[in-house]
Homo-oligomer: A and B are copies of this chain.
Amino acid sequence: MFEHDDPVLELTDEQCWKLLTNTRHGRIVLTAAGETDIFPINYLAHNNLLMMRSAPGTKLAEIAINENVLFETDGISSDEAWSVVIKGTARILQSGEEIAAAESLGLKTWIPTLKDFYIEVKPTRITGRHFILGQQPERF
């Protein structure tokens, strides 16, 4: 899937979505009142959107103040690594129909509670890179 001779390959949107679809766990970066926070989160890629679930708390409060979010997921093995970063906007699902559709996806959270909300992230920019891991070249 990721053949390249250079140590780093810039991924196409299609390659990014393939990685996003095959992964369940990433991090969301939120900024509100000049303060930036990062939260690990389970997610699902669905219809070119990311779906997440969250209990009430800091994450939801910050999204209500500033919808602009950053999302990152990555993977690393002994000889290769990749990373996909999304810039986008987040909204909390409100309608019963949307929530029912989100629930049908079977998305799991790290701390399941009865009061979870669903968050949808709509990407405005996707970037991804694939790395062939190697040794540092010798300095001398």
Q: Which residues of A contact B (CB under 8 A)?
A: 7-8, 25, 27, 29, 31, 36-40, 70, 72, 74, 76, 81, 83, 85, 108-114, 116, 131, 133-137, 139
List of B residues within 8 angstroms of A111 by Cβ: 7-8, 131
Q: By DSSP majority rule, is chain A's interface helix, strand, loop, or mixed?
A: strand
List of B residues within 8 angstroms of A25 by Cβ: 76
List of B residues within 8 angstroms of A85 by Cβ: 37-38
List of B residues within 8 angstroms of A116 by Cβ: 136
Q: A135 touches which one: B72, B112, B134 (CB < 8 A)?
A: B112
Cβ–Cβ contact B131 & A114, under 8 A: no
List of B residues within 8 angstroms of A81 by Cβ: 40, 110
